[in-house]
Amino acid sequence: MKLTLKVWRQKNNQAKGEFKTYPMDHVSEDMSFLEMFDVLNEDLVRKGDEPIAFDHDCREGICGMCSMHINGRAHGPAEETTTCQLHMRKFKDGETITVEPFRAKAFPVIKDLMVNRSAFDRIIQAGGFVSVNTGNAVDANCLPIPKPDADKAFDAAACIGCGACVATCKNASAMLFVSAKVSQLALLPQGQPERHIRVQKMVDLMDAEGFGNCTNTGACEVECPKGISLENIARMNRDYLVAKVTS
């Protein structure tokens, strides 16, 4: 495959960035998108140019590091797929591909395609601890949890914190991410003691970090690589209202 890449290059958060064009030839359709970038960077190094900085870790769709906006979509054109799981067969021979970092005030650019998503870490930390008994593990049957609740909690816990929801939302809202982290505990007995304190602290910090409010368009759910449901946002809003009324 022959491709033309238009890649955002930015030295640091203070520097002015710009798109630079890189023609590529002999791209295998079996390559992942990040493998294609590896080949491009090797070529740039051979030419004495600076390689393109981008985030990656597990390359198995688990870590949420590969925060790229590809042709106007977070993680690219494939449904429920991270950038590392996106393969070049999703593109056409001769196509021009535009790649840029996630755009959000709360996700400042570090360099090129790398953004600082530490705001997510601080929101999780704001949730605090979970009250559980210490000591020997209790028998699994001692704490029965209805299967529908367990399934919903598991689905919410599948969130990898990649930030695609923020990058997709026109208000750069993090409500899908925060609601997933709230719901994975709010649906389980272990998460009940601090349920309302937790949601209040996490939502308040989300606002303080500079994320916008929910647009109710559902774009976040569409672009989420793990298919996190909007139902979690409704649950978080209800819990937050209760927390404000009872605090």
pLDDT digits (tens, 9 = 90+) for 144-203: 889 999 999 999 999 999 999 999 999 999 999 999 999 999 999 889 999 999 999 999
Question: Do 219 and 160 belong to one domain?
Answer: yes
Tell me the CATH number at 210.
1.10.1060.10
Phi, psi torsion values for 32, nearest 5 degrees: -80, 165
- DSSP E strands: which ranges in 162-245? none
Question: Do 12 and 95 belong to one domain?
Answer: yes
Question: Do 88 and 190 belong to one domain?
Answer: no
pLDDT digits (tens, 9 = 90+) for 127-140: 988 877 667 776 76
Give the DSSP letter of residue 193: T
Question: Do 126 and 183 belong to one domain?
Answer: yes
Tell me the CATH number at 63.
3.10.20.30
Tell if the pTM clears 0.85, that is, is over it: yes
Question: Do 70 and 123 belong to one domain?
Answer: no
**pLDDT for the residue 199:** 97
Mean pLDDT for 46-57 is 96
Question: Do 103 and 13 belong to one domain?
Answer: yes
Domain residues for the domain of 206 are 117-132+141-246
- DSSP E strands: which ranges in 49-116? 68-70, 73-74, 96-101, 109-111, 114-115
Mean pLDDT for 48-76 is 95
CA separation, residue 67 to residues 7, 94, 102, 139, 183 (Å):
13, 24, 6, 40, 24
pLDDT digits (tens, 9 = 90+) for 24-43: 999 999 999 999 999 999 99
Provide the number of structural domains found in the chain: 2
CA separation for the pair 149, 155 (Å, rounded):
10
**pLDDT for the residue 55:** 95
CA separation for the pair 197, 102 (Å, rounded):
31
